[in-house]
Amino acid sequence: MDQVNKIMSGPGQRAWELAIRLSEQYQVTLYTPNISDLTSEQFQIKSFDLLNPIELRADCGSADYILYQTVRLYLREWAGKDTKIIADLFDPIFLEALEVYKYKSLKYQSEIHQALIEEIKQTIINSDYFICANQRQKDLWLGFIFLLGKTNPASYHDYPNLENLITIVPFGLPEKLDLRKTSNTPGLPSKDSGILRNSSKGNLNSKASLRKKFGFSDHDKLVVWTGGLWNWFDTEIIIEAFKIISQTRRDIKMVFYGYKLVNTDMGSEVTMSADKAYALAKKYRLLDSAVFYYPDWISPSEMLNHLEEADIGISTHYDNLETRFSNRTRALYFIKARLPFITTKGDIFAELVEQKQLGRVVDQGDTNQLANTIIELLDSDLNSIKGQFDLIDQELSWDQGVANLNQMLAIDNTKYQQFKLKPKKDTKLKYLIRETLRKLGLLGIVRSLRIKVKERQINE
């Protein structure tokens, strides 16, 4: 699980938002691997140390439900007899790892991959229910659920879409500012944050916070990248596109956020691709003239403030499995800020952009197309696009996601336990037969038997 702080990445934000909604119906304790700088009047926040997890172990033993992101076998061992375990599979980390460690040796990559696959298997086997962030992810996890014997004909006939086992809890957009949160939560600015509230509109307002920092004029057009610069994103193509754009348009500026690691436990290898893009911007002399880096991560409220000053957002990635089954948190910021954005084909939000006309979708790896699309979108009527965002609020709702979760938890799966698939245990003889068949094949075994018979006849 990621850290939960005022400044945090997607996994931490998901844990926080779900804890807020679930605390309306349950007594919630949110455990984090760090000592959080957040507080809440709605639920408890505790940190844990795996070297001495006395309190965590006790709470697991008395809990009705355990909802977790990172799979560990000890949770099943610590859980009470009637405790139900829910795995949040919104992040297919074994696919991320293929991109994170692609600069390492194949031996190292293979060891990591094998370990993560085993971890996923243990997650599926030791969990009772599953949630994920979108339909594509559900399709991915259904394969694991079937393969590892979590369903059977009896449960399938009652629930042909396996809604008794897995449901979609999308990353949501805040439907309203929750005044029950304390002033140091990520949903609201603190009194000393320097963020002003426009009382007439109820929107966050941070005049000149972004433009003043980099010295942009009111006439400059700003393209913004939010969130981490991980290896599975293609930031080099943006630099190549701005090399083209800067030849004719000096008024278009690119700002990258989150160049530093928000979670210091993550290795520097996760941003090696971003380092290459930075070096490229320096090489083309675009750095601090057309391309700018805001190195620090900022809170969600501050990010929304900054996006109010931007003209469009951008998110570019590669054509691979990580993209197909991802759920980009950064796109939710663009949607919340009503900010038209450009994204690469391949992920779930690219489909949304095309269907709802929220911006533009480009082909992966086409630099000229990206450069032309940035200019074309910036010069279009952006206000006409902003109205399209009102159509999707209900589709990206934390409350609806929690309702889906509660509907699944109301289903009692214990009646299907008698039909649960049990792995067959190998006897030594069965193992030898199977291995011989695998190595020699049926014809090979027949030939071997003939040779043995001839040898015996000769010896006699």
Which domains can be identified in the chain, with CATH numbers? 48-172+401-419 (no CATH), 206-396 (3.40.50.2000), 428-460 (no CATH)
Tens-place pLDDT, residues 225-276: 987 787 888 999 999 999 999 999 999 999 998 766 545 455 566 667 788 8
* pLDDT for res 231: 82
Confidence class for position 396, pLDDT limits 50, 70, 90: confident
What does the pLDDT read at residue 315?
Answer: 95
What is the mean pLDDT of the segment spanning 392-418? 86
3-state secondary structure of 248: coil
Question: Quick check: 325 pLDDT over 80?
Answer: yes
Q: Quote the pLDDT of residue 196.
A: 24
Residue 203: the pLDDT is 36
Q: Is the per-residue pLDDT at 278 higher than 50?
A: yes
pLDDT at 232: 82
The H or E element that residue 42 is part of is: none
* Higher-confidence position of 73 and 356: 356
Asked if 262 contacts 8 with a C-beta cutoff of 8 angstroms, the reply is yes
Contacts of 132 (CB under 8 A, 6+ apart): 88, 89, 90, 138, 140, 141, 166, 168, 169
Q: What is the per-residue pLDDT across 135-164, written as a single tens digit (0 to 9) for each?
A: 999 999 999 999 998 988 889 999 999 999
Confidence band (pLDDT; 50, 70, 90) for 419? low
Q: Indicate the pLDDT class of residue 453, thresholds 50, 70 and 90.
A: low
In this predicted structure, what is the pLDDT of residue 451?
60
Q: CA separation (Å) from 261 to 172, 229, 425?
A: 24, 9, 46
**The pLDDT of residue 102:** 85
The pLDDT of residue 193: 29
Spatial separation of the C-alpha atoms in residues 328 and 322, rounded to whole Å: 11
Residue 60 pLDDT greater than 70, yes or no: yes
At 387 the pLDDT is 84
pTM: 0.79
> In the prediction, which pLDDT does 207 show?
39
pLDDT at 427 over 60: no
R_g of the chain, CA atoms, integer Å: 26
* Beta pairing class for 341-344 and 312-315: parallel
| Average pLDDT taken over every residue of the chain | 82
